[in-house]
Chain A
Amino acid sequence: MADLQTYSHDAGWKNTILRGLLYLVLILFAAYYLFPLIVMVATSLKSLDEIREGSLISLPRVVTFDAWNYAWNEACIGVECTGIKIYFWNSVKMAVPAVLISTFLGAINGYALTKWRFKGANIVFALLLFGCFIPFQVVLLPMSQVLGKIGLASSTPGLVLVHVVYGLCFTTLFFRNYYVSIPDELVKAATIDGAGFFTIFWRIILPISTPIIVVSVIWQFTQIWNDFLFGASFASGANAPMTVALNNIVNTTTGVKQYNVDMAAALLTGLPTLLVYVLAGKYFVRGLTAGSVKG
């Protein structure tokens, strides 16, 4: 009995230490990742004078949203001092249609590739899959020529087209892999019931695709919103997306370096993707786990 007690006492003590170490490591990691964000948020809330006097990591003495206001409404991008807001709307006008169109086309592709298997479906899928591995840089030149020829150069619709074409590979892959696990008998039953290709798609397949639609939207929105290379290459000046505008604000060399404005602009640029994760992340996880319990 005594032995046993000693043993359990010992184990409890060991456990506490291990637990403590574990938490220490986790806290260190969390701090490591949180630190840049804290610095950014803190700096964006300081006045320029305070930044000049104080240290990098100190919290703001006086919280002011002037920098945010300035970045949104007045910051100079190049020679135009219109703030980042018009570029924010450029990004919205680019990302929303591009995400919706590429997700929708991916869904139809995946549906056709799995449920209406035609001759050569595997080859088509393999080629689409191949598209996932083509680096952005490779397509820049031919893409700009195509955009020029069809009259969409330096425009938001041109960017939408580029992102739809580029995202199609990924969305098709998502939907195809999701639809593979949906029994073919569902489509057969609907066929006998008299429904055609699109009726089955709208009435039966799409309503049960919510989880994968969420996955596709999150992925595509993050990719397209955060893209810099296509934005910088195919849309210049007033049509540039927010990421490009941010770069231009930060790299403007005239005058005093306004760190607080830079930080506020960067945070504004990052907010939409964060928002998508916060809003859809719940459905994302729910979607991934739905159906795992046998019904």
Chain B
Amino acid sequence: MASLTLDKVRKAFGPVEVLKEINLAIEDGEFLVLVGPSGCGKSTLLNLIAGLESSTDGEIRIGDRIINDVHPKDRNIAMVFQSYALYPNMTVRKNITFGLEIRGVSNEERDKAVADVAKLLQIEPLLDRKPSQLSGGQRQRVAMGRALVRDPDIFLFDEPLSNLDAKLRVDMRTEIKKLHQRLGSTIVYVTHDQIEAMTLASRIAVMKDGILQQFDTPQNIYERPNNMFVAGFIGSPSMNFMDATLIEENGQLAVTIARPGSPITLPLFETPESYKGYVGKEVVFGIRPEGLTHKRTGSEAAGSQYVNFDSKVEVIEPTGADTMTVIEIAGKEIVARVRPDRAPTPGESMTFSADMSQISLFDPDTELRI
């Protein structure tokens, strides 16, 4: 186990720059999730850490050791691949011990290591089968077993769950989390699924177009996204964005959203210094669906920062726990999360409460958080 540091890492394929100055550092035992849409460079970054590709520039360190020019086999890492990459001609046992055999580990030690890992992953009955005789979930376990048996400094996971069906994916996600808690190992995990990122990570690195957008704990990324991309990417349904103007009314800052009829004016209770420069200017007002709810009663609203406004309801989408209510404000579809028993019928008008403690403001030009 060890810490991992990426220092100004760049990667270019010819003239195409796929990674632009990535700086990341995680401590021993952390669970780092690299998340982003396809083509954002997250898998390339993982390959750089694994040593399957070499970086154009910058430094990669495991612990205090610079590993840029170290061969993958000498980096003391293990990797779980999206396609599992099990050797089709070998039994599960052989698959798991292949790396040990290559490294010249003795027969008895190999047998013991396989037994331990098989017990941990509950794949003991499968040890003498070939990969083609296993189900998707079983293959996944074997692939993890192959990584675990080596007891590496860092585990690398490349979208390990994306080939599983939805139910199994959730189960395996929990298992990976349990495994991490039990072993306390350092893990780097690539996914495009923001829910996986949120549930597993101790820290998330959100990437887009080869640029690191934000590197923080899941909760911070969710509550204080750096820019509109991160805000929209993390969370489902995604954050609502509305064009608004920041105004000052009776000494208090507020955002006002123009719409046919009367504008919606929402006073701001927390006003960081940075807001000051935007008074009288256009901003993008961002609020998550759970920040927009049915009208709160007096006791519910006490001591919080709820502001009420009226809007007509377009569509409702019940999910069971909550009913997603789509309203239209200034030509944009906005999703509010309403308790099922308070859900409106489409077409009627209803009073909503906006929780002003859960909002974000963005600069419309730079798309950065204000």
Contacts and interface: CB of A to CB of B under 8 A. Distances in A.
A111 B102 CA distance: 20
B72 interface: yes
Interface in B225-275: none
A73 B213 CA distance: 83
A183 interface: yes
A295 B83 CA distance: 13
Nearest to B132: A295
B103 to A, nearest CB: 5
A15 interface: no
A194 interface: yes
Given A190-B98, A195-B102, A208 B73 contact: no
Interface residues of A, number: 17
Contacts of B82: 185
A191 interface: yes
Interface string B140-152: 0000001000000
Nearest to A204: B87
Contact of A189 (B51, B79, B89): B79
A192 B83 contact: no
Report whether over half of chain A's contact residues are helix, strand or loop; otherwise say mixed: helix
B141 to A, nearest CB: 15
A199 B102 contact: yes
A188 interface: yes
Contacts of A3: none
Contacts of A204: 87, 89
Interface in A124-155: none
B88 interface: yes
Nearest to B158: A185
A80 interface: no
B89 A193 contact: no
Nearest to A295: B132
A192 B132 CA distance: 22
A188 B98 contact: no
Given A193-B73, A204-B89, A188 B102 contact: no
A194 B87 contact: no
B81 interface: yes
Nearest to B78: A192
B99 interface: yes
14 contacts: A183-B85, A186-B85, A188-B50, A188-B81, A189-B87, A191-B52, A191-B72, A192-B73, A192-B99, A193-B98, A194-B73, A194-B102, A204-B87, A208-B89
Interface of A: 183, 185-186, 188-195, 199, 203-204, 207-208, 295
Interface of B: 50-52, 72-73, 77-79, 81-83, 85, 87-89, 98-99, 102-103, 132, 146
